Amino acid sequence: MLNELTALESKVAQVVALCRSLRSENDGLREQLTAAQADRDRLAERMAAACARLELLAQQLPEAKG
C-alpha cells in the first residue's frame, strides 16, 4: 500500500511539473503572439502609407497620349 501511494505521489508530482512547464510555455507563446500581432499591425500601417504615396505619385504622372 505504501509503495502504491509513493508511486501515485510521484506521478502527481510529474503531472504538476508538466502543468507548470506547459503554463510557462503557454505564457511565452502568448507574449510572442502579442509581439507578432503588433509587428503585423505596424507593417499594415506602413503598407497603407506606401499605397497612399504611390496613388498620389500615380495621380501626378502625365497622361499618356495615344
pLDDT of residue 21: 98
Q: Which three cell numbers stand for residue 28?
A: 511565452
CA torsion, ordered 4, 5, 8, 13, to nearest 10 deg:
-140
d(CA 15, CA 11): 6
Task: List the chain pLDDT tens, one digit each, 66 residues.
Answer: 999 999 999 999 999 999 999 999 999 999 999 999 999 999 999 999 999 999 999 999 988 776
Domain ranges of the chain: 34-58
Q: Which three cell numbers stand for residue 50?
A: 506606401
d(CA 33, CA 12): 31
